[in-house]
Structure 1
Amino acid sequence: MAKNWIPLRQVEGTASRQAHVRLPEGTYEREISKEGFFGPSAQFHHRHKPTDWVEFDGPIRPRALDLNKLATVQANPWNADLVMGNNHLQMRYWRLDKAMPELARNSDGDQLLFIHEGNGALFCDYGHLDYAGGDYLVIPRGTMWRLEPAKPTTSLMIEATNDHFTLPDKGLVGRHAIFDPAMLDTPRIDEAFLAQQDERTWRVSVKRRNALSTVTYPFNPLDAIGWHGDLSVVRINWRDLRPLMSHRFHLPPSAHTTWATGRFVVCTFVPRPLESDPEALRLPFFHNNDDFEEVIFYHKGSFFSRDNIHPGMMTVHPTGFTHGPHPKAFNAATKGGKTETDEVAVMIDTRDAIDVAAMPAGVEFEGYVKSWRPQEMKQAAE
């Protein structure tokens, strides 16, 4: 059923007429909205930062995980470290240091691999495709595939359970926005693909309903000599993304959506100029997290809106609390000097509550929830 929102446009008290622009002096803006950033919203102007809490207890506390400390190398992707999931997605952190000895097939949903480190070759039903750090690989449900690293490879694997990945609706900006679909590379039936076909015994590890089955063949089942159609594995690198920007208005995270499913979206933050209009906010605005859980994986660069974060870490912001930039980032952005971002990160926004897997000791940064404390409180604690 289509959503018919209550029609309302109200201005009360001392308030700006435009979201994120011309804030009343000495105030901090907080946004509450429906449907992430797509539906009705209200912007409040507060005397204090909405994140200046002094204590924070309970299950909705923000969390930070250092996935670099998940050091397990696995030849089978389904045995990789489970990081979190729900009924509609699974996220695993996978380290692979040599060629997979068998094929994998996901019968639970489409698979998205974000290559954090390493390079090598992907062999699949559709052919051969090289991969490198910063690549997204979208593998349709039911595809047989394997990786053959040239350098040890670490990837964030995101499964769309009983769903598939599509491109987001690009609306007014048109189909070439963010990236032209012509930039999507597909595998080739080339010499490398034909050369790997052999008559050895091969096994296929099939995941269905989180249980594994093994199918054994007396030959390599990646033995296609050609194919046609409009379904395929696709590859694109974050360096080929051209983010939407406005020098006069801070665009919400939804403007950076790269992949969409029925219950979650995957966004990519890449380097971009900061807003230059002195009347506009120059960093993420404080906002409630009410319709979506927010997960961010930090791939590369200096993460200016977060403190004590480095590549390979992941933050989890559950539904139910207001969040925004950390104090150091807020001060750096509002006082000027910084003209562009220098960060690459993958954000997963999911409508459904997400369960974080049990982590080995040392993986979670327990002090993350305290990093929003006012600077003077941090200094006093030190």
Structure 2
Amino acid sequence: MSAKPQDAGAPPVQLWSRDGFQGALSVVTRQTYAPDYLSVQGPHAPRRAVLERLTPDDQDDPEALPTTVATSRLGVKLHVSGRRTPMPYVVRNVEADEIHFIQSGTVKFETDVGCLTATEGDFVCIPRSIAYRYAPTGDAMRSVIVESPSVLKLAPPAPSGLLNVARDLKHAEVDATMPAGGPTRLVLKTLDPENTVFMLPHDPLALGVHLSESVPVWKLNLANIQVHAYLPEGGPPSQFLQSGTGDLLMFNLSARPGGRPPVHINADFDELICYVRGPGAWGGCTEPGTLTCVPKGVIHHGPSEDVPEGYQAWLLETRATMRWTPKALAVAELMETGQYMPHPGAGK
């Protein structure tokens, strides 16, 4: 149950909506606080996890791929990486576009369209079938990786305002000094139970020059994505990125002025939120890298986003029904959906 059920004096308002924030809706009032629940059984339950409590497979094993924390029948997946050493191979995901969010550390990406260095708060886009490898420039890093079978593209509500593409969007650049090297393994990620591995005579990421203006690998920092606020009562955020099919949307959910969101039933989208860091707390989320998940159809309220101290967070909405993996469930806990704190019944 929530420690702060509702705003004082206001009747509990419940919103049901289709297509996330864009479709049909219905609003009613209730005599009770709908997000409260005593217990839940089954996989379609709200949960939260502090990602620092998870030890990714690639943290101690250089040969390992990132650890999968959530999957779906639509192919949308979430992974966590905590690599301490460079990848000793090159990866090409032939099934999905990838967004790598750098939670901590500095990471150098080498791809077959160029190189870039990403820092804390950067989203890095690696489209389907772009070969790449990455390594921390220091002792450690932590990233959350979103996989989408549908093409991902920047999709702000207007050409300017939410994003300043000319200033803040940085593309990979060719490093012509990279040596061709010797035999290199290329791992093709597919939906098969095991990956396909090619042994190439040279490093496939060693390039000459760009012959086209288009460079599909880019980075964009969360701090440079503006928040969209409606004053005085508040309103939904605006996406900065979406899939070509519209089944995956990403939003900046960092601190912004306005009223607390209404109690909500999202009919079509699972909502996954990553609380990146403070200084301010977002409701019950105080530890950097806290991942929350409210499945579609589960009544939730959510904390106020009007936090004067400020905080950073991002929201992933997907039509895919996400399921936590056993490794993720081992560090996850049941969540109440008022302030997104651990549920009082967790662990009982």
- TM-score for the superposition, normalised by structure 1: 0.78
Given residue 160 of structure 1, which amino acid in structure 2 is its aligned partner?
Answer: S
Runs of 5+ in structure 1 lacking a partner?
Answer: 1-22, 276-281
Q: Deviations over 1:51-95 (max 9, x none)?
A: 233344443321112221221351669722111111231110111
User: Aligned with 1:283: secondary structure?
Assistant: coil
Deviation, 1:181, is 2.1
Aligned partners of 1:259, 1:247: CA distance in 2, in Å?
24
Deviation, 1:39, is 1.1
Show the counterpart of 1:252.
236
Aligned partners of 1:47, 1:252: CA distance in 2, in Å?
24
Show the counterpart of 1:5.
none
Is 2:293 the partner of 1:311?
A: no
Runs of 5+ in structure 2 lacking a partner?
Answer: 1-6
Q: Which of 327, 336, 340 in structure 2 is aligned with 1:369? A: 336
Show the counterpart of 2:214.
230
Deviation, 1:346, is 2.3
Show the counterpart of 1:120.
107
- TM-score for the superposition, normalised by structure 2: 0.85
1:138-217 equivalences under 5 Å are 138-151=125-138, 152-161=140-149, 163-168=150-155, 170=157, 174-182=158-166, 183-189=168-174, 193-210=175-192, 211-217=194-200
Deviation, 1:311, is 1.4
Is 2:70 the partner of 1:84?
A: yes
User: Aligned with 2:171: secondary structure?
Assistant: coil
Aligned partners of 1:370, 1:297: CA distance in 2, in Å?
15
User: Aligned with 2:173: secondary structure?
Assistant: coil
Deviation, 1:315, is 1.2
Q: Which of 277, 280, 284 in structure 2 is aligned with 1:300? A: 277
Deviation, 1:231, is 4.4
Show the counterpart of 2:14.
30
Show the counterpart of 2:315.
347
Identify if the C-alpha distance between structure 1 residues 341 and 166 changes in structure 2 by more than 3 Å, giving closer, same or farther.
Answer: farther
More helix by share: 1
Identify if the C-alpha distance between structure 1 residues 370 and 145 changes in structure 2 by more than 3 Å, giving closer, same or farther.
Answer: closer
Identify if the C-alpha distance between structure 1 residues 355 and 250 changes in structure 2 by more than 3 Å, giving closer, same or farther.
Answer: same
Q: Deviations over 1:107-135 (max 9, x none)?
A: 11111100111103211112221111110
Is 2:33 the partner of 1:49?
A: yes
Given residue 249 of structure 2, which amino acid in structure 1 is its aligned partner?
Answer: V
Q: Deviations over 1:207-249 (max 9, x none)?
A: 1224311122222122221121434101111111111222223
1:266-281 equivalences under 5 Å are 266-272=250-256, 274-275=257-258
Please provide the CA RMSD for this pair.
2.8
Deviation, 1:251, is 1.8
Given residue 159 of structure 2, which amino acid in structure 1 is its aligned partner?
Answer: R
Identify if the C-alpha distance between structure 1 residues 270 and 77 changes in structure 2 by more than 3 Å, giving closer, same or farther.
Answer: farther
Deviation, 1:184, is 1.3
User: Aligned with 1:359: secondary structure?
Assistant: helix
